[in-house]
């Protein structure tokens, strides 16, 4: 085998496993004393870092050697294969390999590789310095077996040139999407970094786009002053102006903080409290503040902590699980500020009850629950089960504010228990009372009742007569404002219906089915509406309400995208644009935590907004920009 060209610039010395640079006489290790295990990687790195002129000569010699081998291979292949007319010969990898030249920095191939590297840095929340890493510098983006064609760029190039250009490109795509949107609702929240003295204000837009509802991260603004209502309102107005949303904002969904509610009202935006936060408030106030439940949860946490801190205890617990024939699941620790995690912890405790008791008897080390305490755990799990299902429902990406009123009705129905268990009855009564107090506003808010009426799964089922009248008035007033007053016509009730998707399979296996059983078992009735000479949108609203409700698994955005009531579609795009919670903004802050991780501790605050914006929206665009 021909000698490696590297030895034209180094020579082996008397010391085993060492080589000397002919240029600077420095000694370098070959990795081993045995020739079979020696490597020249350190020698190549030395030339690349310290002797760039010599390294260029070395790379040219490597390329010439490779071309010679390729040409030899071509000659062998030509002799071995039958003669074929030249017009039919297709270039192969073997015939073209020897003629490859490095990519120019402005070539399309180089730009595609630059973009792919930038996507990795942004979406995976990696520091720019990764491109200076030793392993990264060894990457060959064409073929590791051939000379490098792509010239690696510096950290500065990605940080100061390509990232700003990428931001501008994605921002243009986002502005185009927002221009096409008729109405936008947004979720907003404040996050403070626990490790640094900085805070962010999120601003996420939600809007109907064809048969789906899309969401975009529009801003994650760095807060430099006190988080009072006036300052937060100025930041929200700044975001609305930046993205050209004047006159297109429907409502803003925020947590229940007084400063956020004040900010929205000062900014002239209808505010809606996060339903998930309100539900958490209901559970904590009605259940977790009870002394017996509070003591029980504290004791359960102590048991779980024992197993988390001892691997030996976990192994013994696994033996107890096998003996009791219970699932081999670990006990789960909860987060004190998140009630649904407490529910999951207690639910797992109930599942592992026999194994926990057996471990306590055989090994000790834990303060086991008494029979009365186990009964209390089961009561708490029983009463919280529908609330946990409700949290899953409203936290889904496609959850709509129209689900809030029906969902509360389902929860209240579950609290009307006929059980003889007085403890359980008392818990449910307290929870029901708390719901009535904290959710009283939902049936008085015009945007909520209008959204419920426009949800083809629910319509007026969960609204009283006055509430239906108020919802219809809200919708008609909005439609009147965007339609000509002379627009009168009889509604055509014979328009062919479009197909809209339903997920019947998920309906049959969904864990939420039990929560919704009262709704799913309602009788379906259909009444044909008569034609009246009214504005077309009023006629279509009347006809829509006479149609039977669609299955609960129906994609409501797809329903309105191709409905038989086109005059109502503008109202649907407005009132159904809002999610019921600010969960999307809270998920954004988990990404912010990654950006502020120790390995990116020097990241300037002003770059955080752009990186969060890009990280989410690049995925929304499926990396096509």
Same domain, 426 and 493: no
Same domain, 413 and 473: no
Question: Where do we find the tokens 């829509």?
Answer: 544
- Does some domain include residue 465? yes
Report the candidate in 396, 415, 408 with the shortest Cα–Cα distance to residue 583.
396
Quick: pLDDT tens for 325-367.
Answer: 999 999 999 987 788 899 999 999 999 999 999 999 999 888 8
Among 70, 88, 123, give the residue marking a domain's end.
70
Query: Cα separation of 218 and 380, whole Å?
Result: 40
Same domain, 431 and 452: no
Give the number of domains in the chain: 3
Same domain, 527 and 405: no
pLDDT less than 70: residues of the chain: 1-2, 69-100, 193-197, 417-420, 484-512, 522-533, 588-606
Among 70, 88, 107, give the residue marking a domain's end.
70
Pair 30, 40: CB distance under 8 Å: yes
Query: Cα separation of 343 and 356, whole Å?
Result: 18
CB atoms within 10 A of CB 74: 15
Report the candidate in 560, 427, 415 with the shortest Cα–Cα distance to residue 501.
560
Q: Which domain holds residue 372?
A: 278-437
Same domain, 345 and 483: no
Which tokens hold the place of 403?
Answer: 């689900």
- Does some domain include residue 376? yes
Same domain, 339 and 451: no
Task: List b or e across 591-621, with b for residues whose CB sees 16 or more CB atoms inside 10 angstroms.
Answer: bbeebbeeebeebebebbbbbbbbbbbbeee
Among 70, 85, 112, give the residue marking a domain's end.
70
Same domain, 330 and 386: yes
């Amino acid at each position: 085998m021909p000698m490696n060209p590297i030895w034209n610039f180094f020579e082996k010395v008397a010391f085993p496993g060492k080589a000397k640079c002919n240029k600077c006489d420095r000694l370098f290790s070959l990795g081993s004393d045995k020739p079979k295990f020696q490597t020249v990687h350190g020698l190549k790195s030395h030339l690349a870092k310290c002797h760039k002129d010599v390294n260029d000569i070395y790379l040219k010699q490597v390329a010439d050697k490779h071309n010679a081998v390729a040409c030899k291979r071509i000659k062998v292949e030509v002799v071995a294969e039958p003669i074929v007319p030249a017009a039919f010969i297709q270039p192969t990898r073997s015939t073209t390999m020897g003629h490859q030249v490095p990519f120019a920095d402005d070539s399309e191939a180089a730009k595609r590789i630059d973009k792919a590297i930038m996507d990795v840095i942004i979406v995976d929340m990696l520091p720019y310095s990764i491109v200076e890493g030793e392993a990264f510098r060894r990457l060959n983006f064409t073929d590791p077996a051939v000379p490098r064609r792509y010239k690696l760029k510096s950290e500065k190039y990605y940080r100061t040139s390509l990232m700003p250009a990428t931001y501008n490109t994605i921002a243009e795509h986002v502005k185009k999407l927002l221009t096409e949107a008729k109405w936008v609702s947004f979720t907003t929240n404040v996050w403070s970094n626990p490790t640094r003295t900085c805070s962010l204000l999120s601003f996420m837009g939600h809007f109907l786009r064809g048969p789906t509802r899309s969401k975009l991260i529009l801003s994650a603004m760095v807060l430099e002053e006190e988080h009072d209502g006036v300052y937060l309102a100025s930041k929200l107005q700044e975001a609305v102006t930046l993205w050209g949303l004047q006159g297109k904002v429907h409502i803003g969904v925020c947590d229940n903080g007084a400063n956020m509610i004040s900010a929205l009202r000062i900014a002239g935006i209808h505010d809606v409290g996060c339903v998930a936060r309100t539900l958490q408030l209901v559970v904590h106030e009605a259940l977790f503040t009870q002394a017996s439940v509070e003591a029980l949860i504290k004791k359960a946490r102590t048991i779980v902590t024992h197993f988390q801190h001892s691997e030996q205890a976990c192994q013994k617990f696994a033996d107890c699980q096998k003996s009791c024939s219970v699932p081999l699941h670990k006990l789960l620790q909860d987060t004190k500020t998140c009630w649904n995690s407490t529910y999951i912890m207690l639910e797992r405790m109930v599942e592992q009850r026999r194994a926990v008791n057996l471990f306590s008897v055989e090994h000790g080390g834990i303060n086991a629950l008494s029979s009365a305490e186990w009964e209390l755990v089961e009561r708490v799990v029983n009463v919280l089960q529908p609330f946990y299902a409700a949290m899953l429902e409203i936290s889904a990406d496609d959850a709509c504010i129209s689900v809030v009123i029906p969902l509360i009705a389902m929860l209240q129905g579950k609290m009307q228990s006929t059980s003889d268990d007085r403890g359980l009855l008392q818990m449910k009564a307290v929870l029901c009372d708390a719901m009535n107090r904290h959710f009283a506003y939902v049936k008085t808010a015009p945007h909520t009742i209008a959204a419920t009426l426009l949800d083809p799964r629910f319509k007026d089922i969960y609204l009283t007569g006055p509430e239906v009248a108020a919802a219809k008035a809200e919708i008609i007033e909005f439609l009147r404002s965007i339609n000509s007053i002379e627009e009168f016509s009889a509604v055509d009730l014979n328009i062919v219906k479009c197909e809209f998707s339903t997920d019947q399979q998920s309906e049959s296996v969904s864990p939420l089915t039990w929560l919704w059983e009262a709704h799913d078992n309602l009788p379906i009735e259909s009444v044909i509406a008569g034609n009246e000479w009214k504005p077309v949108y009023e006629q279509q609203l009347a006809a829509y309400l006479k149609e039977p409700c669609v299955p609960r698994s129906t994609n409501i955005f797809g329903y309105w995208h191709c409905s038989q009531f086109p005059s109502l579609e503008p109202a649907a795009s407005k009132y159904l644009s809002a999610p019921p919670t600010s969960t999307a903004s809270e998920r954004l802050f988990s990404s912010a935590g990654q950006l502020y991780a120790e390995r990116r501790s020097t990241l300037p605050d002003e770059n955080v907004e752009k990186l969060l914006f890009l990280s989410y929206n690049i995925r929304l665009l499926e990396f096509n920009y």
